């Protein structure tokens, strides 16, 4: 989006009677390698125009940057101003701080480097015994440039990079097959490592193939970090100030109160070094900052935008994943703070119970209710006896409540596992933030398996 386009649309909008105007520009440059299907390269830019007329806020977008496109944006906003209710306050940010945080890897735009990275997966997979026909990796490397400019003086530009890989491992043994997914991400290509997740997941898969169905009942359990981070993804919605204010969450009126066990600290950090969703300013142009949402079990902070901030709740959590979707309050890099215990120590603490290593909630919230917090979803894992991991368990589901789980955490591991970013509802963008968690020991979880 060049300056000529910016000047033209702002000038014309003011002449049409718009009093405040803001442009938000996203340009994505993607390289996507799918080892099964091939290569995708793309470059696309789009702009949204927000403008105020008679205290009414209007919004339109287009994927084009000539005068005709600018005229279209103004025309649509004029039409929509006809029926929009006036707002008491309009929330455009005027601060123009220096961009003091970078999260960009130029190698993510070099096609040969990205192909080379994807080949690491294929080569490593050859080192494992067994049959992995049908396995694949989808590696996506994205550079995103955002510019936000308004007539209150704001003009900020930032380029960030995001790389993520989703592997589908299919393992066959003696005519029986099974599969699992693993996910890796980061802001720099060098962070992408396949060896560790391959070791762990292939080990798990070979046990799932021979796995047994556990009896229904309530078990003390250790959740693998990756597995709990899927549940944390649904929990993320509980921290949006607008959602809390709507009364749809148990966190309503719980500010400053105990909502989790002492060992739980949950953080949203948009400035996490190497974080997949790291970004210097939010979709309103407000500088981002780390937020400790739950500290030692106490609800301490929420994610806010310029409209919902009050007291010491600060703005800076507005997200716009795509130009054709409205902005919304969201976490960025959400994680549970690491604890002191290794996995071995946690298994010893568990002594006897279950080690839950996978839940199936690949694409959206199904199996979990973000309002009540109730969830039930298929899972896989292992029996644990005398602190030792034993045989694999399959064909069962776990069920409980996401709020209750926070109160049932007995100990937290010193590792961190990431879950694939997903969406809460079909039709929403597939990414609403990155999520990570250490292994966590839970006092009890109900499972539905074979007859008790």
Partner 1 sequence: MIKEDIIFEVLKVATSTGGDYGELFVENSASNTLNMAEGRIASVLSGVTKGASIRVFCGLQSYYGFTTDLSYKGLVDLAKKIANNLKEKNSLFVPDLKTMKTNPTSKSIIMPRMISNVAKVEALKEAYSGAKAVSQLCKGINGLYYDMEQNVQIATTEGYVYNDTRPYTRLQVSLAAVNGSEIQMGFEDFMEAEGFDCIIRRDPRSIGEKAAKTAVGALGSIECPSGELPVIFSPSGGGTFLHEACGHPLEASYAARENTLFYNSIGKKMMCSKISITDNGIYPNGWGATAVDDEGVLCQKTVLVENGIVKNYMIDRLNSRRLNRMPTGNGRKQSYRQVPTSRMHQLYIEPGKDTLNDMLSGISKGLYVEDLGGGCANGNTGTFTVSTARAFLIEDGEIKNQVRTATLIGKTLEAMNDLDMVGDDEVTSFGGGYCGSESGNLPVGNGTPHIRIKKLTVSGRG
Give the closest residue to 262 by CA, choosing from 175, 359, 337. 337
Binding track, positions 380-419, relative to partner 1; x by CB under 8 A: ---------------x-x-x--------------------
Give the C-alpha separation, 278 to 135, whole Å. Answer: 30
Q: Compare residues 62 and 299 and give the one whose CB is closer to partner 1.
A: 62
Give the closest residue to 436 by CA, choosing from 351, 358, 334, 367. 334
Only segment of 77-85, 121-129, 385-393, 403-411 that touches partner 1 (CB under 8 A): 77-85
Q: Compare residues 38 and 129 and give the one whose CB is closer to partner 1.
A: 38
Q: Compare residues 62 and 389 and give the one whose CB is closer to partner 1.
A: 62
Residue 170 binds partner 1 (CB under 8 A)? yes
Residue 36 binds partner 1 (CB under 8 A)? yes
Residue 179 binds partner 1 (CB under 8 A)? yes
Binding track, positions 108-147, relative to partner 1; x by CB under 8 A: -------------------------xx---x---------
Q: What is the dihedral of CA 106, 107, 110, 112, to 10 degrees?
A: 170
Order of strands, sheet of 298-299, starting from the edge strand that comes earlier in the sequence: 298-299, 291-295, 266-268, 333-336, 434-437, 417-419
Q: Compare residues 280 and 433 and give the one whose CB is closer to partner 1.
A: 433
Residue selected from 7, 11, 43, 94 as contacting partner 1 according to rule CB under 8 A = 43
Taking a C-beta distance cutoff of 8 angstroms, is the pair 357, 204 a contact? yes
Binding track, positions 81-110, relative to partner 1; x by CB under 8 A: -xxxx-------------------------
Q: How many residues bind partner 1 (CB under 8 A)?
A: 70
Residue with tokens 């500088």: 287
Report DSSP state, residue 238. Answer: G
Give the closest residue to 237 by CA, choosing from 326, 331, 316. 331
Residue 71 binds partner 1 (CB under 8 A)? no
Q: How far is the CB of 273 from partner 1 (least distance, A)?
A: 30
In the numeric block, which tokens belong to residue 342?
A: 């290794």
Q: How far is the CB of 451 from partner 1 (least distance, A)?
A: 8
Summary count for the chain: helices (H), strands (E): 8, 20
Residue 39 binds partner 1 (CB under 8 A)? yes
Buried residues in 273-291 as b, exposed as e (16+ CB within 10 A): eebbbbbbbbbbbbbbeeb
Only segment of 45-53, 183-191, 229-237, 337-345 that touches partner 1 (CB under 8 A): 45-53
Q: Which of residues 358-377 bind partner 1 (CB under 8 A)?
A: 360-364, 366-367, 369, 371-372, 374-377
Report DSSP state, residue 107. Answer: G
Give the C-alpha separation, 227 to 284, whole Å. Answer: 33
Tell me how long the chain is: 452
Binding site for partner 1 (CB under 8 A): 34, 36-46, 48, 57-64, 72, 76, 79-80, 82-85, 133-134, 138, 168, 170, 172, 177-179, 216, 246-248, 323-326, 360-364, 366-367, 369, 371-372, 374-378, 395, 397, 399, 423, 426-428, 430, 448
């Amino acid at each position: 989006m060049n300056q000529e386009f910016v000047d033209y649309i702002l000038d014309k909008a003011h002449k049409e009677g718009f009093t405040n105007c803001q442009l938000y520009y996203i340009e994505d440059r993607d390289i996507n390698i799918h080892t099964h299907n091939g290569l995708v390269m793309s470059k696309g830019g789009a702009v949204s125009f927000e403008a105020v007329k008679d205290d009414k806020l209007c919004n339109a977008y287009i994927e084009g940057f000539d005068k005709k496109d600018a005229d279209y944006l103004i025309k649509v906003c004029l039409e929509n101003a006809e029926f929009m209710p006036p707002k008491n306050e309009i929330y455009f940010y005027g601060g123009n701080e220096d961009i003091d945080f970078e999260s960009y890897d130029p190698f993510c735009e070099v096609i040969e480097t990205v192909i080379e990275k994807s080949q690491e997966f294929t080569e490593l997979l050859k080192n494992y015994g067994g049959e992995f026909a049908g396995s694949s990796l989808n590696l996506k490397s994205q550079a995103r440039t955002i510019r936000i400019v308004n007539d209150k003086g704001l003009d900020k530009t930032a380029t960030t990079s995001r790389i993520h890989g989703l592997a589908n491992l299919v393992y066959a043994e003696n005519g029986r097959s099974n599969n699992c997914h693993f996910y890796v991400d980061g802001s720099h290509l060098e962070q992408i490592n396949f060896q560790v997740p391959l070791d762990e997941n292939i080990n798990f898969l070979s046990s799932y193939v021979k796995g047994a169905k556990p009896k229904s009942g309530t078990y003390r359990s250790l959740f693998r970090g990756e597995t709990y981070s899927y549940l944390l993804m649904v929990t993320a919605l509980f921290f949006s100030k607008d959602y809390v204010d709507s009364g749809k969450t148990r966190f309503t009126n719980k500010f400053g109160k105990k909502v989790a066990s002492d060992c739980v600290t949950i953080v949203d950090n948009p400035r996490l070094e190497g974080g997949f969703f790291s970004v210097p300013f939010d979709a309103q142009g407000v500088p981002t900052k780390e937020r400790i949402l739950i500290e030692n079990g106490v609800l301490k902070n929420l994610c806010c935008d310029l409209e919902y901030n009050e007291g010491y709740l600060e703005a800076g959590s507005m997200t716009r994943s795509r130009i054709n979707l409205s902005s919304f309050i969201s976490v960025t890099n959400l994680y549970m703070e690491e604890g002191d215990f290794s996995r071995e120590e946690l298994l010893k603490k568990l002594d006897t119970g279950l080690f839950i290593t996978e839940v199936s909630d690949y694409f959206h919230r199904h199996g979990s209710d973000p309002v009540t917090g109730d969830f039930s979803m298929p899972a896989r894992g292992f029996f644990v006896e005398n602190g030792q991991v034993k045989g694999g368990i399959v064909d069962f589901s776990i069920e409980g409540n996401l709020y209750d789980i926070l109160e049932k955490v007995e100990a937290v591991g010193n590792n961190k596992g990431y879950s694939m970013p997903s969406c809460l509802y079909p039709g929403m963008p597939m990414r609403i933030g990155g999520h990570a968690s250490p292994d966590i020991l839970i006092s009890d979880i109900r499972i539905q398996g074979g007859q008790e």
